[in-house]
């Protein structure tokens, strides 16, 4: 007869790893779009805060001597919330909030990404002195999920639901690295559009086994945009435009797996795929002037993370993870010059009461070396030997429901 690990003895370890499992580096990926809150038993709620600080520095391609580019990665934080409840022993409902995609970069110092003087490439048009290249992108998701458990022992669950998403962005291109695009500025105002998710899960509680695969659809956005392109004045063209931009945030597939190894230890695995090669930001005025997209990627993202969770006492569990993110190609946009990462993380979960628990975790990231390119594919910078760290804390509540 096979070992019975008894799910109750492992409860303190389950989900402890999700705090440290944050901060993807490929494309604009951030939260990893975790849905494991919905897969918990009974009534479950969580609030998660994540902080990430990275050091991304390098050199421009100035001649005869490259100039230093200081740390361009701005620290950022984001939140994730989730609540889930069983309607009966078959149906469950849940609502999740996260901030799935984003970017935060700001150049400084004296290099080819700062406007210091007239740019001779377009007749000495004077840019505001000292302005820097920077970008900020933020998104918000609210997901509703309805699940149904199937089979004689309710081992299978299918789930689906709508997704509401808001996107906004600001980009400034400054410095001679961008040629005639030096001085370009765009503001994309926040607006909301809709997509969906669907998935299937399998569980075997007696060995704490749980596996789930989740698909999230693309979401097509039509967003208000305002642009300024100073160099167009030399071509006697309008230098500003207010209109709309079409942006499609990417689809994704997440696979989440866990199983008990013995009565006090769990093994976990996460795999995520995002086709960033299909994604592009194409502002109308910028595209008219250059026939190029402002941001695009060459490759799709793969993320793999493996972990162990060990229950040390009835109330305390510790966790460890190792991970790999493929990045989205190299060379890559100068607005986010990282080619994936390797990671190692540690975390802990402590049950404050029978229902309430607090978790905390951290992850160290070794970023892949990358060459930064402008939209015409010209390589204008080089970034090497960079790293970062992510910290997270989670408060969770869980209670059993009895429908007998």
CATH fold of 7-399, please? Porin (2.40.160)
Q: Is the confidence at residue 16, as pLDDT, over 50?
A: no
Contact 397, 356 (CB under 8 A): yes
Q: Residue 289 in 3-state DSSP?
A: helix
The C-alpha angle with vertex 154 and arms to 150 and 156, in degrees rounded to 5, equals 55
Q: Please spell the DSSP secondary structure of 302-334, one letter per residue.
A: EEEEEEEEEE-SSSEEEEEEEEEE--S-SSEET
The C-alpha angle with vertex 226 and arms to 224 and 120, in degrees rounded to 5, equals 155
Domain ranges of the chain: 7-399
Rounded CA-CA distance 276/250 in Å is 7
pLDDT digit string, tens, across residues 196-250? 999 999 999 888 899 999 999 999 999 999 999 999 988 888 899 999 999 999 9
Contact 258, 267 (CB under 8 A): yes
Contact 270, 303 (CB under 8 A): yes
- Count of C-beta atoms within a 10 Å radius of residue 389: 16
Contact 163, 142 (CB under 8 A): yes
- Count of C-beta atoms within a 10 Å radius of residue 342: 14
Confidence of residue 1 (pLDDT cuts 50, 70, 90): very low
Buried-exposed string 257-276: b where 16+ CB fall within 10 A, e elsewhere: bbbbbeebbbebebebbbbb
Residues contacting residue 232 through CB under 8 Å, at least 6 positions apart: 238, 239, 285, 289
pLDDT digit string, tens, across residues 361-391? 899 999 999 999 989 899 999 999 999 998 8
According to DSSP, the residues that pair with 321 across neighbouring strands are: 307, 345
Average pLDDT, the chain: 88
pLDDT digit string, tens, across residues 131-168? 899 999 999 999 999 999 998 889 999 999 999 999 99
DSSP H or E segment with residue 250: none
According to DSSP, the residues that pair with 125 across neighbouring strands are: 119
Contact 168, 190 (CB under 8 A): yes
In the predicted model, what is the mean pLDDT of residues 52-81? Answer: 90
Rounded CA-CA distance 62/57 in Å is 15
Q: Is the confidence at residue 122, as pLDDT, over 50?
A: no
Please tell me what DSSP assigns to residue 335.
Answer: T
Structural tokens at position 353: 């009461």
In the predicted model, what is the mean pLDDT of residues 55-81? Answer: 90
Residues contacting residue 134 through CB under 8 Å, at least 6 positions apart: 105, 106, 107, 170, 171, 172
User: CA-CA distances (angstroms) from residue 151 to 90, 93, 145, 157, 316?
Assistant: 10, 19, 20, 9, 34
User: CA-CA distances (angstroms) from residue 317 to 34, 47, 136, 348, 361?
Assistant: 21, 19, 37, 6, 12
Quote the pLDDT of residue 400.
Answer: 87
pLDDT digit string, tens, across residues 84-113? 999 999 999 999 999 999 888 899 888 999
User: CA-CA distances (angstroms) from residue 306 to 49, 123, 297?
Assistant: 22, 55, 26
Q: What percent of the chain has pLDDT over 70?
A: 90
Q: What pTM, to 2 d.p., does this model score?
A: 0.91
In the predicted model, what is the mean pLDDT of residues 299-321? Answer: 90
Confidence of residue 11 (pLDDT cuts 50, 70, 90): low
Q: Residue 1 in 3-state DSSP?
A: coil
Q: Is the confidence at residue 7, as pLDDT, over 60?
A: no
């Amino acid at each position: 007869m096979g070992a019975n690990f008894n799910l109750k003895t492992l409860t303190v370890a389950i989900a402890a790893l999700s705090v440290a499992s944050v901060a993807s580096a490929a494309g604009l990926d951030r939260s990893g779009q975790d849905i494991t809150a919905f897969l918990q038993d009974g009534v479950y709620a969580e609030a998660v805060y994540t902080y990430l600080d990275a050091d991304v520095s390098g050199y421009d391609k100035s001649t005869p001597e490259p100039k230093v580019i200081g740390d361009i990665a701005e620290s950022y934080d984001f939140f994730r919330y989730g609540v889930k409840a069983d309607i009966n022993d078959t149906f469950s409902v849940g609502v999740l909030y996260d901030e799935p995609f984003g970017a935060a970069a700001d150049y400084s110092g004296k290099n080819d990404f700062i406007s210091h003087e007239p740019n001779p490439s377009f007749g000495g048009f004077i840019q505001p002195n000292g302005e820097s290249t920077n970008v900020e992108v933020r998104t918000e998701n609210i997901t509703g999920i309805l699940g149904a458990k199937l089979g004689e022992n309710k081992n299978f669950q299918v789930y689906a639901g709508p997704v509401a998403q808001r996107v906004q962005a600001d980009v400034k291109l400054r410095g001679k690295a961008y040629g005639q695009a030096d001085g370009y500025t765009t503001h994309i105002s926040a607006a909301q559009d809709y997509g969906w998710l669907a998935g299937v899960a399998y569980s075997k509680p007696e060995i704490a086994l749980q596996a789930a695969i989740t698909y999230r659809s693309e979401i097509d956005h039509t967003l208000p945009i305002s642009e300024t392109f100073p160099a167009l004045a030399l071509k006697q063209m309008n230098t500003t435009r207010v209109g709309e931009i079409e942006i499609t945030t990417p689809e994704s597939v997440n696979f989440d797996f866990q199983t008990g190894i013995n009565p006090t230890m769990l093994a976990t695995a996460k795999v995520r795929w995002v086709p960033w090669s299909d994604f592009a930001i194409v502002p109308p005025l910028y595209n008219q002037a250059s026939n190029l997209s402002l941001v695009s990627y060459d490759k799709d993202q793969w993320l793999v993370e493996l972990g162990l969770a060990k229950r040390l006492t009835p109330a305390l569990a510790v966790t460890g993870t190792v991970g790999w993110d493929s990045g989205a190609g190299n060379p890559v946009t100068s607005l986010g010059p990282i080619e994936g990462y390797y990671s190692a993380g540690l975390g802990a979960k402590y049950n404050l009461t029978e229902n309430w628990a607090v978790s905390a975790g951290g992850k160290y990231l070794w970023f892949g070396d990358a060459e930064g390119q402008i939209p015409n594919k010209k390589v204008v910078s080089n970034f090497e030997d960079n790293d970062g760290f992510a910290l997270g804390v989670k408060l969770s509540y869980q209670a059993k429901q009895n429908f007998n």
